[in-house]
């Protein structure tokens, strides 16, 4: 949290408009920097925490005034004076937050730091049509192979580029390549038609070495962001976990992991048509397809199609832009963490599915920094053993 966010949080705490999660965050700042941090969480009386907070602040400003504000401000009390007290409270608790953040690793993080895990990186395996596998992580930059008149090259910034010779097309046989970004990996592909595909961790894309003249079709598992070159004569189709996305030229993101309940297609620009591949006999929803506009998202699950409008595009594309952006429950967050850091997540107790964590952090950070950020709320704690992250209350 930056200074402005801290001030806004304390303002809400002071005027009673803070949510339960925000109230607990403020009071945990106090707990962490006081003698109360030696107690078990279940033994802490948070009503007493609130009283101690105000009294400690009052010692540095005007104790009688602060004591009077433990309940309701008496009639006739100077509004200006109370505002000055509240403003001072903001500064003192903001300083407490900075103190806690700067000392957090020393107080609570030695075990996490000792067993730290590096973030994911550009890592992928290319499988050619003949079955040959090439580790893109280890391969030298430059030309890797030639197939059906197409040159395949690797660049230094984690890209795989296909360059097709004029009129390169095998009428007798379509050859397919597959690129897979494993857990803890990501990669970019520039397809023969110039379209760009950004693969997230634990994802793969199967595509023809040369596209047909009337259709461009690929198969996705996992998550990818697409920037499709316009060609109205040859629609681009993405097959992903029971749905087909058809476009002419546009930018969109598809999240289609096997361990997610729904396939989510989010449109940034242009237009896409999303169809369920489920047969009419088993279709849950009568809708045949959805046409998305920029800022909209389709969700497809077991043939049921749903349209979501006004989607937070920064949230959807955070992974592609190099950071995590959270506004979700812990299990959803840890699913993303497990893919990017290639770790197994073990839950000692089942997290509250209704409690949401909000925040963002670079994907270049070691796992300890991300876990410390979540631990900072006081609602969850972690321990790392090898490549296992143990979630504790």
> CA 24, CA 232: separation in Å to the nearest integer?
55
In the chain (393 residues long), the average pLDDT of successive 10-residue segments reads 64 74 70 55 57 54 45 39 46 45 40 76 94 92 86 89 71 82 96 94 95 89 96 92 91 96 95 80 58 95 89 94 92 96 94 87 92 81 93 86
253: tokens are 């993101």
> CA 129, CA 135: separation in Å to the nearest integer?
15
Domains and CATH numbers, the chain: 3-108 (no CATH), 121-314 (2.60.120.1440), 323-392 (3.55.50.30)
pTM above 0.85, yes or no: no
Longest distance between any two alpha carbons in the chain, whole Å: 91
Q: What is the pLDDT of residues 192-219, one digit of tens each?
A: 889 999 999 999 999 998 887 788 999 9
Q: How much is the pLDDT for 49? A: 57
Q: What is the pLDDT of residues 308-362, one digit of tens each?
A: 999 999 999 999 999 999 889 999 999 999 999 999 999 998 888 888 888 889 9
156: tokens are 């230094």
Q: How much is the pLDDT for 76? A: 36
> CA 246, CA 243: separation in Å to the nearest integer?
10
Q: What is the pLDDT of residues 93-117, one digit of tens each?
A: 444 444 444 333 333 444 455 678 9
Q: Detail the DSSP E strand segments found in 228-303.
A: 236-240, 243-247, 251-256, 263-269, 272-276, 289-292, 297-301
């Amino acid at each position: 949290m930056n200074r402005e966010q801290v001030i806004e949080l304390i303002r809400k705490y002071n005027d009673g408009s803070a949510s339960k999660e925000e109230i607990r965050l403020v009071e945990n700042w106090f707990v962490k920097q006081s003698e109360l941090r030696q107690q078990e969480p279940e033994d802490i009386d948070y009503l007493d925490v609130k009283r101690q907070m105000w009294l400690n602040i009052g010692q540095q400003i005007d104790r009688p005034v602060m004591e009077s504000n433990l309940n309701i401000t008496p009639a006739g009390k100077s509004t200006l004076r109370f505002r000055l007290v509240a403003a001072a409270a903001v500064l003192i608790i903001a300083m407490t937050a900075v103190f806690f953040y700067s000392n957090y690793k020393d107080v609570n993080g030695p075990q996490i730091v000792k067993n730290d895990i590096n973030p994911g990186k550009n890592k992928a395996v290319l499988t050619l049509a003949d079955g040959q596998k090439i580790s893109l992580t280890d391969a030298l930059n430059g030309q890797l192979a030639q197939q059906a008149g197409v040159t395949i090259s690797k660049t230094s910034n984690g890209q795989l580029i296909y360059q097709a010779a004029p009129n390169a097309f095998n009428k007798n046989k379509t050859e397919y390549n597959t690129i897979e970004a494993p857990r803890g990996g990501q990669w970019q592909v520039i397809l023969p038609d110039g379209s760009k595909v950004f693969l997230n961790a634990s994802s793969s894309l199967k595509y023809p070495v040369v596209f047909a003249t009337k259709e461009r079709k690929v198969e996705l598992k996992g998550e990818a962001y697409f920037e499709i070159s316009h060609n109205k004569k040859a629609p681009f189709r993405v097959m992903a976990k029971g749905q087909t996305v058809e476009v002419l030229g546009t930018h969109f993101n598809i999240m289609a992991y096997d361990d997610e309940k729904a396939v989510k297609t989010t449109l940034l620009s242009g237009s896409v048509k999303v169809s369920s591949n489920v047969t009419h006999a088993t279709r849950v929803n009568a809708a045949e397809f959805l046409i998305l506009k920029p800022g909209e998202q389709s969700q497809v699950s077991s043939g049921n199609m749903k349209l979501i409008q006004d989607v937070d595009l920064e949230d959807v594309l955070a992974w592609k832009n190099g950071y995590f952006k959270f506004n979700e429950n812990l299990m959803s967050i840890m699913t993303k963490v497990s893919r990017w850091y290639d770790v197994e997540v073990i839950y000692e107790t089942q997290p509250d599915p209704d409690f949401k964590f909000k925040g963002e952090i670079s994907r270049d950070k070691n796992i300890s920094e991300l876990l410390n950020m979540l631990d900072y709320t006081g609602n969850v704690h972690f321990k790392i053993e090898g490549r296992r992250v143990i979630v504790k209350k």
